[in-house]
Amino acid sequence: MAYLTPKTLTCPSCGHTGPLSWITGVPLDNAPRAGRGYVKVHKSGDWTVEKAEGETVVRCPTCTTEVTRRSLKP
């Protein structure tokens, strides 16, 4: 199963703001074990989303400042 986490992000550099939703997938047995499941961007709005080493990096579309990043694992 999976659930959505809608966020409103604001760029710390230029103040650009907009919505971005994360989707978190969890194993069917729901056992809380490290390294299982996934975290991905569901709807990125106009944010620039990059894949980095084991992480998703979200950058501002106007000034390319890194706004947030999250591990690919919950």
Question: Contact positions toward Zn ion, by CB under 5 A?
Answer: 11, 13-14, 16, 60, 62-63, 65
* Closest distance to Zn ion from the beta carbon of 8 (Å): 14
**Closer of 18 and 74 to Zn ion (Cβ):** 18
**Closer of 9 and 26 to Zn ion (Cβ):** 9
Judge contact between 69 and 52, C-beta under 8 A: yes
Q: Order the strands of the 17-25 sheet from edge to edge.
A: 2-10, 17-25, 38-43
* Closest distance to Zn ion from the beta carbon of 14 (Å): 3
* Closest distance to Zn ion from the beta carbon of 7 (Å): 16
Give the closest residue to 56 by CA, choosing from 14, 9, 12, 17. Answer: 9
